[in-house]
Structure 1
Amino acid sequence: MKKIYYLQTCDTCRRIMKELDFSGFEKQEIKTEPITAKQLDEMKKLSGSYEALFSRRAKKYKEMGLKDENLSEKDFQHYILNDYTFLKRPVIIDGNQIFIGNEKKNLAALALHLEKN
């Protein structure tokens, strides 16, 4: 499976999608087409945890006081499924490889992976 989960209104997602070649990837805009529990579980299998997929940069993270709570894996799963802003993005899946978020190190690994494949 080749898939990218992104947010159309996110400048960073748009920039990444312009800079890298995602031809052949299925694209899912998570605001208009929310991720399903099954999709999230597939991402969790590849990433190792729901926490790895959870964005602490989301405005609601602070607004809801979540930064002061000790969140469990079940909590991370719940918040991601109930509000697209909690998914760290973009999430790119290529076969059994997953790339989460927009950190420079992650994007460099993604670019290298795309060049090889």
Structure 2
Amino acid sequence: MKKMYHLATCTTCQAIIKETGVDKLAAADRIKMQDIKTEKITAGQLEEMKKMSGTYEALFSRRAMKYKELGLKEKSLSEKDYRDYILDEYTFLKRPVTILDNQIFIGNDKKTVAALKAAVSDI
């Protein structure tokens, strides 16, 4: 399976999609794109991401506006909490999340984007 979970309105996601060439693969139907704002992540999809990443925490974004609004910084969150917050509010998913067969790329740090770009060039 080749799929990217992203937010269409996020300029960072848009830049990564262009930089890595995912936009061309999506246009050629070689990778499926899912805008998580318009098409919510299902529990099954999140579980698949967790199996590949190891934890829900690895998929959780502490940069989300609601993280501060809800005072989550002061709380000790469990794996179940991370899972529930991601399912309840799409902004808690660290974006973008790209699955290329048996590889997962989470977030937008430089190393992750570089690794994604290299992996995409092999498709």
TM-score tier by shorter-chain length is: over 0.9
Pick from 70, 86, 102 the counterpart of residue 80 of structure 1.
86
Identical aligned residues as a percent: 62
Aligned amino acid, residue 19 of structure 2:
E
TM-score normalised per structure 1: 0.97
Q: Verify: 1:103 aligned to 2:109, yes or no.
A: yes
Unaligned runs of 5+ in 2: none
* Post-superposition offset of 1:116: 2.8
Unaligned runs of 5+ in 1: none
1:113 is matched with which residue? 119
SS at structure 2 position matched to 1:111: helix
TM-score normalised per structure 2: 0.93
Q: Note the 1:21-100 alignment, pairs <5 A.
A: 21-22=21-22, 23=25, 24-100=30-106
Q: Verify: 1:14 aligned to 2:14, yes or no.
A: yes
The CA deviation string for residues 20-66 of structure 1, in whole angstroms up to 9 with x for no partner, is: 22211100000000000000000000000000000000010011000
* Post-superposition offset of 1:88: 0.2
